[in-house]
Chain A
């Protein structure tokens, strides 16, 4: 999702602090958002429950302070490793002038009115928007809470509020001194300040924003105490697995559960929309029961094509005219008349997300309400989907969000697939918590992949080897079609996520045309870290590199000459080139160096990859990245995201590939869907461009440039121009 497709709703951006006009004291154990966790038997959850038993005083939707001097910050986005606990808490703590040590984070409940993503208009995490939409909102929330503390101190000490200072969790005036905790009760009684009275810090006053010393707030990950969906334990909870059809779109014709039901530990077996559910005392019994099922599938409406067949069809499609997604000038005419041209055809396979924690969810349905526990990414969407399924009100669907073991897009399913599957099972067992667990095989073969695509890129070249016209044709499935986001993301039959990255072309080419063939295939598809940019950045950056080589110009110089009206990409590219020693540092014999630059989710990233090649084998040795993401709220989190985004994209560049034969997925687990392991991980250096602009995305923008940078490095080393992912040298 490209952030600039969403418009900021001004009114919503002001909901932050002014919204709360009354004091709400949350009594021990009744806080909705902690109830679920307090049922858990895990050590961490018990600790959490105990600490929340202190009276929490809510200052606004995002901040509460306890008399025990704990600042609790409610995080409206899902923490799935991208660092939102840390980043969002930093914004609040900065303006609150809290001591970082006293800050704890907690996922906010699902409450769209309070916690909407201001760039989406609904509560949810995605499109690398967490920081971009929250930066001002959370700073105001922190500033408002601070004003309440100051006013309480002014009253208590009978001194003017504007003479009071606040520093690292201590409020002081002359000889007076009080911790936040000491003022917590009085401060919570203060009227929240009007939004227009808040004075925020200027960047030179930042103490936490930009700091290199703030440690992450998503703790407990080095000692096993962090709680994920898989770890949720509730009294009387049962575990469910589902036997899905081998082909997408197939239905159950008949099944025999007698052997499964006879298996120790198996409680119930029944048919649901998506297959046959086996509910048991534990996961092992459930899977053993599932193995004993006899199921006959009805394939009459199933997708039975092979991925190779589809890609062959896509390669023919890109030779034909598609629906026009973007048009500047008469690129088609200029190309037809051109005496010098370059054309390249690209191919991309289906990809599984393969996040470490396979899909799972816990739900309990009781009367006219439901409660869920999971790493909830599409909060509003999931809540309304569950409400609709059960015929109840959205506010009667209570969602308790826990950490997610990775997401990369998979957990934000536009159809709430795994959430609804869980609820379909749980509704058959009223008042019983049910944990749905997908095995790795279920996860890998369960669909919702990055779609396969073919591209054809063409350029007409002038006598200096510069492109005068550019055309891109793309063929593949639409991610947004049929989802609730189609209205926003699909215009005149063009799904923006199929073409983003090739539209709004960053290079100076006077005439451009982007065309799309949207294919109709029954394989469920979904966004995958950086969405359309996963493929468009590859073809764009490999193509530009090929143009540079054809013109005999250095690939960095060539790009810079086409980026004269794009100062941001110019600056980032120059920074990466300088840090990598481009043109100055000699590489060992047999090595190659390649570059790519791309802007997505509001941020620009350039990456330079160095590869060593031996025969048809190669290793990516080193990657130097430069990023402009506006203000880097937590530079270490930014670097971690760039490192991770590179690893994720590199995995796809080197080996990830999901194929189907006659509609059946060929891969099932990490033995035949190989992902990046430590021995293939390069050294990564990340450089952040200093900036005073508002923060933009960091979770995804590091992924798009890596595959083209590596392909371009291989072209440098071997002269082989690879245009198909994953990359294979001849």
Chain B
């Protein structure tokens, strides 16, 4: 299913009678200051953040538009293009079959959707005929192992786990070792949620990586951060700090099935140019979609504040 459709469906579920969102703004004709002000408001309310909002507004101000270009539909196009220019270069699909073992380490702050995303991802990879094993390296949170185990059982995915409280680096090591020995295509490590400003937890994270490198210098091939769409500007700090521990390969944004628009993705992309792999649009196994900039922007502009 297309994300756009999924999100529109989400909107239909809405009990509240929303206005027309972006369409209201562009009914007015020229990009007068008033329109630009409304546009700025729209962008800020979408979590794009102040600096980038001002930059985009300035871009639009600097361009000269004919009357025709300024009619509602075309102006929407202008904005769409501004956004696509930022987002299209970071589209990247990781759902393909891999040649040889690929290791994916999943990280992020608490409760963003790491475990669920891994559950969904495994299913997609398995459907693409990949042989997948996951490591339950969140040994800290209560019943985190059972949560991942549950996903794996439902989708017949192999899992490597230890007792609660075990060393997460040891679990990652064991999983990768097993993956190597048994010719898996994917080795995916779930980690405990950790706030990026906690030194001890970030040290623990860097130890997981260090230990994985003992088996394979190139591991992990991908370090993916999972972001929650409802998060505001703090997402930028999250990227900054996790990136310091281990160069992030890309990101996945979850919970886009809610009303949050995840506009912070634009600021993140501006600054870090991180590939965006996928978006989460629900809690079910098939609610993970590859990130397609065009669809994202379309849904973004259609979604109401």
Decide whether A and B are members of one complex.
no
Residue numbers of B with Cβ under 8 A of A are: none
Interface residues of A (CB under 8 A from B): none
